[in-house]
Amino acid sequence: MRLKNPFSRCGKRFRILLAAAAVAAIATAGFVLAADRAMERRSARIYSAPAAIEARDVGLLLGTAPRGKYGENLYFKYRIEAAAELYHAGKIRKILVSGDNSRKDYDEPAAMRAALEAKGVAPADIVEDYAGFRTLDSIVRARKVFGVSKLTVISQPFHCKRALYLADHRGVDAIGFAAREVNVRSARLRNAVREPFSRVLAVLDAGFGRSPHFLGEPLPILVEPPPGRN
């Protein structure tokens, strides 16, 4: 008489689980790749020279901390430089600084304002968005709170691509101006790990129509027409 293998049922279950895990891994990898391609398609609308970009009334400067774990945050420094360069070239007239102010001891918009003023940007031309906790929040609030439906996003290229993708799905006519990349090995490695997940989250945000943490009352940015424009 042939004896039954007591482990055959367990072996079959294991094979089913292994196959399911393989299918899930392939599907996840495909989704990550699709999200990456969706962001990369925005590259053509990102400029690195003021002379090449069209003038728009408002630039949206995406926030980050002025200082990192080991000192000055180069992402912050280069974004401020890019925004000031665009402003002084006459390619933006107002700068909406959008960042995190969720704690009393942490205020990205105030830090951006101070840095921009130090670069010669007129205080009256800087507007703070204190609830730009995420890129999604900054894009949606620019339109729904500050009344800006046409703008120039200012950040590093990888960030601009994600912002333009979200803008396309939220009715905002956006182009990007690239701040310098941070060529520090630790920063590059961190972005290589983090950015694919951020891009997947952006696709989910767009797909599910997620809203910002806070909206509040409209505070439209008023831009006076330049001399000679009716």
Domain limits for position 73 = 40-208
Residue at 27 is within a domain: no
Q: Which residues contact 116 (CB under 8 A, 6 or more apart)?
A: 61, 80, 83, 84, 87, 95, 97, 126
Looking at the structure of the chain, the number of domains it has is 1
CB burial readout 78-116, b (16+ within 10 A) else e: bbbebbbbbbeeebbbbbbbbbbbeeeeebbbebbbebb
Residue at 84 is within a domain: yes
Residue at 108 is within a domain: yes
Residue at 175 is within a domain: yes
Is residue 2 pLDDT above 70, yes or no?
A: no
pLDDT in tens, 125-137: 999 999 999 999 9
What's the CATH code of the domain at 124?
3.40.50
Residue at 2 is within a domain: no
Residue at 227 is within a domain: no
Residue at 142 is within a domain: yes
What pLDDT, on a 0 to 100 scale, did the predictor assign at position 7?
46
* Mean pLDDT, residues 36-43: 93
pTM of the complete model beyond 0.75: yes
pLDDT in tens, 117-164: 999 999 999 999 999 999 999 999 999 999 999 999 999 999 999 999
Residue at 170 is within a domain: yes
* Mean pLDDT, residues 174-187: 93
